[in-house]
Amino acid sequence: MTDNLRITITAGSVSMDADLIDTETARAVVSRLPITGRVNRWGEEIYFSIPVEMGREADARDVVEMGELGYWPDGNAFCIFFGKTPASRGEEIRAASPVNVFGRVSGDATRFGSVADGEEIVVTVKKS
């Protein structure tokens, strides 16, 4: 995997690119692309099950930054963080439990706020 691998995430009327970090989690996700799922909303987080099963990496964390992508080992889920969740304290963005952060959306991640529960979501390798 190269350091500049990009993916495209399309959900509802939103389509955004994301840059991946070269981690074991990112390599596992890329190996399964394309992935199609159904959006689950949890506050200002989208998550959906993916066909990847792995544990927490050493640097897994529950407090994340706007636009980060995480893999949630507890639910085998791909997560997109674009604001506060029900677990957030104050202004932080907090996952339900630690996630493996493996990338970040390029641009304004709050655009995912218009995506509804149950909508189709597709993740593909970015075409150059």
Averaged over 65-77, what is the pLDDT? 98
Q: Are residues 70 and 101 in contact, defined by beta-carbon separation less than 8 angstroms? A: yes
- Give CA separation, 29 vs 21, 45, 111, 114, in Å: 11, 18, 23, 25
Q: Taking 80 as the threshold, does the pLDDT of residue 109 lie above it?
A: yes
pLDDT of 127 reads 73
- Between CA 37 and CA 28 the distance in angstroms is 17
Q: Taking 50 as the threshold, does the pLDDT of residue 74 lie above it?
A: yes
Q: Domain boundaries in the chain? A: 6-125
Averaged over 97-101, what is the pLDDT? 98
pLDDT digits (tens, 9 = 90+) for 14-45: 999 999 999 999 999 999 999 999 999 999 99
CATH of 6-125, one of 3.65.10.10, 3.30.2090.10, 3.40.50.2300, 2.40.100.20: 2.40.100.20
Q: Are residues 8 and 15 in contact, defined by beta-carbon separation less than 8 angstroms? A: yes
CB atoms within 10 A of CB 26: 21
Q: Taking 70 as the threshold, does the pLDDT of residue 60 lie above it?
A: yes
More confident residue, 5 or 91: 91
pLDDT of 128 reads 64
pLDDT of 103 reads 98
Query: What's the DSSP call for residue 108?
Result: -
> What is the radius of gyration, based on Cα positions, of the chain?
13
pLDDT of 3 reads 54
pLDDT of 61 reads 98
pLDDT digits (tens, 9 = 90+) for 114-123: 999 999 999 9
Q: Taking 60 as the threshold, does the pLDDT of residue 1 lie above it?
A: no
- Residues 65-99 as b or e (16 or more Cβ within 10 Å = b): eebbbbbbbebebbbbbbbbbebbeeeebbbbebb
